[in-house]
Chain A
Amino acid sequence: MKVSNFAKFGAALMAGVFACAAAYADTIKPAVIYDLGGKFDKSFNEGVFHGATKFTKDTGIKFRDLEIQNDAQREQILRKFAKDGFSPIIMPGFAWATALSKIADEYPKTKFGIIDMVVDKPNVQSMVFKAEEGSFLVGVIAAKTTKTHTLGFVGGMDIPLISAFECGYAQGVKYAAASDKVISNMTGTTPAAWNDPVKGGELAKAQIAQGADIVYAAAGATGQGVLKAAADAGKFGIGVDSDQDNLFPGHILTSMLKRVDVATYDSFMAAKNGTWKAGIEVFGLKNNGVGYAEDEWNRTILTTEAKKAAEAAKADIIAGKIKVHDFMSDNKCPV
Chain B
Amino acid sequence: MSTPLKPLPAWADVALIPLINVTAAFVISGLVVLAIGENPIEAVKILIGGALGDLEGLGYTLFYATSFIFTGLAVAICFHAGLFNIGVDGQAYLGGLGAALVCLYLPLPGYSLVIVAIPAAALFGAAFAAIPGYLQAKRDSHIVITTIMFNYIASALMGYLLVNTLRNPKQMNPETLPFPRGGTVPQLFELLKPLGIVWPDTPLNLSFFLALAAAVFVWVLIWRTRLGYEIRAVGVNPTAAVYGGVSPSRIVIITTLLSGALAGGLAVNVILGSEHRLVLEFTAGFGFVGIAVALMGRAHPVGIVLAAILFGVLYQGGAELAFDMPRISRDMIVVIQGLVVLFAGALEHLFRRPVAALLARRISQPPI
Chains A and B form a bound pair: yes
Q: At the interface with chain B, which of A72-80, A240-248, A315-323?
A: A72-80
- Please judge, given known A-B contacts A77-B319, A189-B156, whether A72 and B173 are in contact too, CB under 8 Å: no
**Bound complex: CA of A68 vs CA of B202, how far in Å?**
17
Question: Are the CB atoms of A116 and B282 closer together than 8 Å?
Answer: no
- Bound Cα distance A161, B277 (Å): 21
Min CB–CB distance B341 → chain A (angstroms): 15
Query: Are B319 and A189 interface neighbours, CB within 8 A?
Result: no
Shortest distance from the beta carbon of B269 to any chain A beta carbon, whole Å:
10
Nearest A-chain residue to B168, judged by Cβ: A98
A69 lies within 8 A of B319 (CB): yes
Q: Which of A97, A98, A191 contacts B281 (CB 8 A)?
A: A191
Docked Cα-Cα span, A50 to B322, in Å, equals 20
The binding surface of chain B is classed by DSSP as helix
- Of A76, A116, A117, A190, which is within 8 A of B319 by CB? A76
B284 lies within 8 A of A71 (CB): yes
Q: Find chain A residues with CB under 8 A from B60 CB.
A: 76
Among A64, A97, A189, A191, the one with the most B-chain Cβ atoms within 10 Å of its Cβ is A189
Task: Kindly specify which of B18-26, B128-136, B291-299, B326-334 makes contact with the partner chain.
Answer: B326-334
Collect the chain B residues with CB atoms within 8 Å of residue A94's CB: 171-173
Interface residues on B, range: 35 or more
How far, in angstroms, from A72 to B284 measured CA to CA in the complex?
9
- Interface residues of A: mostly helix, strand, loop or mixed? mixed
A79 to B74, CA, bound (A): 33
A189 close to B330 (CB less than 8 A): no
- Which chain B positions have C-beta within 8 A of A64? 326
Interchain pairs with CB closer than 8 A, number: 73
B residues 157-189 near A (Cβ < 8 Å) are: 159-160, 162-163, 171-175
Question: Is B175 in contact with A98, judged by CB distance below 8 angstroms?
Answer: yes
The residue from A68, A117, A192 contacting B330, defined by CB atoms under 8 A apart: A68
In the bound complex, do residue B330 and residue A69 qualify as a contact, i.e. CB atoms below 8 Å apart? Answer: yes
- Indicate if the CB atoms of B318 and A69 lie closer than 8 Å: yes
**Does A188 count as interface, using CB distance less than 8 angstroms?**
yes
Which residues of chain A come closer than 8 Å to B329, judged between CB atoms? 67
Q: Are B280 and A191 in contact (CB under 8 A)?
A: yes
- Assess the B279–A71 pair: CB atoms within 8 A: yes
Question: Nearest CB to that of B63 among chain A residues?
Answer: A72
**Chain A positions 162-197 with a Cβ under 8 Å from a chain B Cβ:** 188-192
Pick the contact of A158 from B163, B281, B284, B322 — CB < 8 Å? B163
A85 to chain B, nearest CB (A): 14
Chain B nearest CB from A114 CB (Å) reads 11
Residues of B near any A CB (own CB < 8 A): 60, 63-64, 155-156, 159-160, 162-163, 171-175, 201-203, 270, 274-275, 277, 279-282, 284-285, 315, 318-319, 322-323, 326, 329-330, 333-334
